[in-house]
Every structure is written in structure tokens, then in C-alpha cells.
Structure 1
Amino acid sequence: MLVAAAVCPCPPLLVPEVAAGAAPELDAARAACMDAIGVLAASRPDRLVVVGPAEQSGRGTHAQGARGTFRGFGVDLDVRLGRSVGDGVNDAAGSSADEAERRLPPSLAVAGWLLDRTEWSAAPLEGLGVGEPLAAERCIQVGGDIAARADRVALLVMGDASACRTLKAPGYLDGRAAGFDAEVALALGAADIEVLKGLDEELAYELKAAGRAPWQVLAGAADGAGLSGELLYEDAPYGVGYLVAAWS
């Protein structure tokens, strides 16, 4: 059963080494992410599952200790998704060495950096990269399967809102973006799983909202869990909606 969830944005700029000058405008987002992960640790989970958007090569499961890198963003920085099994953390999934060496998609690499910053040791973990095309019904089903993996499951959900909030945004300005992001922010703050389940897949795609599928995985996992939510951060400093929330 799902006992807690943290929702965080996943831009590589969240990592100071990637952001020249450490992008101080994201300091509040970084702090909120740390607070949200603290809620996960406080829930005393048996297992943590980290979910984030991924391109084709990064989709599927990623073992505890899997490697990620930010070298593609011009920074000589590598990360792991939690401490590897060889570091003394028991991996209940029993993942193979080949899985452990599979490269993390950027969203899970950012998650690995966040978990390292918080010195995560509360429970074994694994990652799941989900593709943008994954239909809502399938996302919800995947979430339900995740929640059934242990008595106490926690989720770290990585994903950005729309990328169309300003003229200089990656997706240019779209008048629908602010309303879409506001709807998602309200749903995450209220742990409203029905709103998340019902997000418009086509609209999310057009607005380049990479978090749509991970949020719907969360909605499926939280079905029947009775969790309450709190929105910890909401802003769009680069024309991309960044949201941080904690459910417990």
C-alpha cells in the first residue's frame, strides 16, 4: 500500500553543477524537494519506487545503484540511484548486475542526485522510466501494481508541468499552459487522484508536460490509500512549470 509520495520537477538545472552559477532562482525548488523527500523517509517505507519520464532507451525498471550521468549537459558528474547493493543496502528486488549498470534517464538521474543529497537510507529502492505515450489507463494500472509490492510503499515522482508558459519557454507561449499547470498544482496539493487520472493526454503532450504519465502512475498507486497532500512549491522560472508536493 502507498503510504507516502513526493512529487518533484526533474530539470537537470536542479543540479547546481549543471546550472552555471547554481541557478539561485531554483534554490527554493531544491529546498522544497528536500522537504518532500523527508516526508518519504518519515513514513518508514518498506520500499521506495522512483518514477520519472524517459525516452525509449530509458524506459522500464532501473535497479538500485543504477548509474546516471550529466555529461550530456556538459558536466563531468555521475550519480547513482541510491547506494548500490555492494554498499550494504539490501535490494529486495534482487536485480541483476546488468540491470544495475543500465544508464538512468535524466529524470531518474536528477532523482538520484536528490536522494544522494538527502543521504537516503530509509528503504531499498528501484526506478521506473515511463514514456510520454503511455496511456492513462496503463499508467493507473502500473501505479496499482507498484502499491501492491510491499506493505508500505513510498513513491518519488519526477516530472515537469507545461513547457509553454512564456515566449522564451522550450515550447513557446501557449495560452492554455497556465490553466493546465494550475489544475495540476491544485490536484497535487489536495492529493486529488481523480483529477490526476483525468488529465487530458493530448493537451499534456501539446504543452510538453513531461510529468503527465508519472502523475497518473501516482494516482493509480494512491487509489484507496486515503493520503492527504501539500503543495510545497509552484513556479515557472524558465517558462516551465515546476511543482513540488508531498503526500502522506
Structure 2
Amino acid sequence: MITRAAVVPHPPLLVPELVAGATAETEPVRAATLAAAGKLPGPWVAVAVGDSGPATIVPPLSGTFLGYGVDVVVSLGGDLRPDPRIPLPVLITAWLREHCAAEVSRIELVPPDMPPSECVSFGQQLASEDAGLLILGDGSTRHGLRSPGSNDERSGPFDSHVHDLLAAADVDGLLDLDPELARELGAQGRAAWQVLAGVPGPWRCASAEFFAPFGVGYHVAVWERP
């Protein structure tokens, strides 16, 4: 059964080569993400939101961050030619795998509009896995004037609430998150967080942190069985 889960973001800024000149500013979220992922037992089952979901991606696979500015090649195993079409959450999973010396059994991409009830059902299906659960998803993209989207004053309270829910391992609260509000705020991690909430507990939070460099919210948390 799944005994530990890590919630992490998946922005390109985690990869130092992609943020030349801003490595110091992005180091806190990078260090927290690597630390959280590094606490997972192997093999990993990863869940992320993707426009191509639902889809299951399994090794071997190689990809590149060339589409984000630098040809940094990452792999889920095998010696295949890098595929430039690999979705960002899969690339970040592969990058984390390499830095944590872990094995990834598969990555599940779920659609961004997945209803909470379906997230719960999917989480219940994952419960019997003998794996560490990696949950990838970003918070709101609308924190202040530096954000990729226009500023939205609801972003601060939204991500503060998500942080509190993750810190309390509050599955009911996570399942109460409004999909429409999350969509308006650009918080595409909502569906992945609700998949985690669907994995039967009990859970307790071992650590929870929040970052918002460049106007985007990033949640990092580790849940484990009491």
C-alpha cells in the first residue's frame, strides 16, 4: 500500500540550467522539492495534470527541456532518443528521478477538468500500490504583477488555504476545493491534489512549505501514515 506521498510543483525553474541568472532566487523551491521527492520510497507512481490526460506513461522514455530554452536531456530509464513532445510534468518527474536516484514505474496524467468525484475514485484505485506517490501540480499563476497572468487578489487566500489543508493533511478540505475557482486562478494542480485526497488514510503531514517566486504559487508537502 502507499505509505508516503510527496506533493511538488513542476515548473521549468526547478532546472538550474533553465534559469541562468536566477538560480539563487529559485533555489529554495528547488531544494524543498528535491528534499520532498527524496523521502519517497521506490518505485514511484507519479500523478500530474496534463491536457493529454487521461494517459499512462511508462519507461523507458527520454525527453528534453529544449522547448524551454536549453537542451537538458532527462530519462525515465533506457537509452532512447529524446522525444521533444514529452509534457512538462513528465520531464520534471524524470529530472527528479535522476537527482533522487529513484525508479519510476509510471506516470498518470489526469485531465485538468477532472471532477472531484473521479479524482477520489482514481485515488482509491492507487491505494494498493506498493510505491511512493509523487503528486505534481502548481498553485495559482496570478500572484501579483510579476505573475504570468494578470494579478488576482483571490490568489493569495486560495494558495494560503491550500497550504493549510496540505499542512493539516485535510482530505475533506482538499476535496472541497472549487474546480472553477482553481481554473480561474490558473491552479492546475487542483485535480492532482484531489487524487491524493482520494487515497484512503489516515494521513499526517510531515512537512509543508509554500513559495511564490515570479508570481506563481508552488506547494511542497510530504504526507505519511501515522
> TM-score, normalised to structure 2's length?
0.91
Which residue is equivalent to 2:50? 54
Distance 1:136 1:33 in 2: 25
CA shift for structure 1 position 134? 1.2
Look up the match of 1:160. 138
Say whether 1:142 aligns with 2:122.
yes
Superposed counterparts of 1:193-232, under 5 Å = 193-221=171-199, 223=200, 225-232=201-208
Q: Is there any run of 5+ residues in structure 2 with no aligned partner, and where? A: none
Question: How many Å separate the matches in 1 of 2:63 and 2:49?
Answer: 14
Could you tell me how far apart the structure 2 residues matched to 1:105 and 1:66 are?
A: 12
With normalisation by structure 1, the TM-score equals 0.83
**1:20-35 paired onto structure 2 within 5 Å:** 20-21=20-21, 23-35=23-35
Query: Could you tell me how far 1:62 is from its partner in structure 2?
Result: 0.5
Tell me the secondary structure at the aligned position of residue 167 of structure 2. Answer: helix
What's the counterpart of residue 187 of structure 1? Answer: 165
Matched, 1:178 2:156: yes
Q: Distance in 2 between matches of 1:69 and 1:22?
A: 21
Native 8 Å contact 1:157 1:215 kept in 2: yes
Instruction: Report the alpha carbon displacement of residue 30 of structure 1 after superposing the two structures with TM.
Output: 1.3
Residues of 2 paired with 1:102 and 1:59: CA distance? Answer: 20
Residues 139, 220 of structure 1: 8 Å contact kept:
yes
- 1:23-74 CA distance string (max 9 Å, x none): 2212111111122122213xxx5x4211112122x64100023222211112
Alignment of 1:37-186 (within 5 A): 37-41=37-41, 45=42, 47-56=43-52, 59-81=54-76, 83-84=77-78, 103-121=85-103, 125-148=105-128, 150=129, 152-186=130-164
Q: CA RMSD in A?
A: 2.1
Question: By how many angstroms is 1:231 displaced?
Answer: 3.5
1:53–1:147 Cα change, 3 Å: same
| Greater mean alpha carbon deviation, residues 7-16 or residues 164-173 | 164-173
% identical aligned pairs: 39
C-alpha spacing 1:239/1:102, structure 2 compared with 1 (3 Å):
closer
Q: What is aligned with 1:89?
A: none
- Cα deviation, residue 142, structure 1: 1.0
**Distance in 2 of aligned mates of 1:247 and 1:139:** 18
Contact kept? 1:70, 1:78, Cα under 8 Å: yes
The 8 Å contact of residues 67 and 103 in structure 1, kept in 2 or not, is answered as no
**What is the alpha-carbon distance in structure 2 between the residues aligned to residue 184 and residue 108 of structure 1?**
23
Contact 1:105–1:129 at 8 Å: present in 2 too?
A: no
The residue number in structure 2 matching 1:238 is 214
Provide the rounded CA distance (Å) in 2 between the counterparts of 1:40 and 1:28.
Answer: 19
Match of 1:94 in 2: none
Match of 1:17 in 2: 17
Contact kept? 2:74, 2:94, Cα under 8 Å:
yes
In structure 2, distance between residues paired with 1:117 and 1:214: 22
- Mean Cα displacement is larger for which, 12-21 or 177-186? 12-21
Name structure 1 gaps, 5 residues minimum.
Answer: 87-96
Residue 163 of structure 1: how far off its partner (Å): 0.7
Structure 1 residue 22: Cα displacement: 5.2
Confirm or deny: 8 A CA contact 1:53 1:211 kept in the other structure.
yes
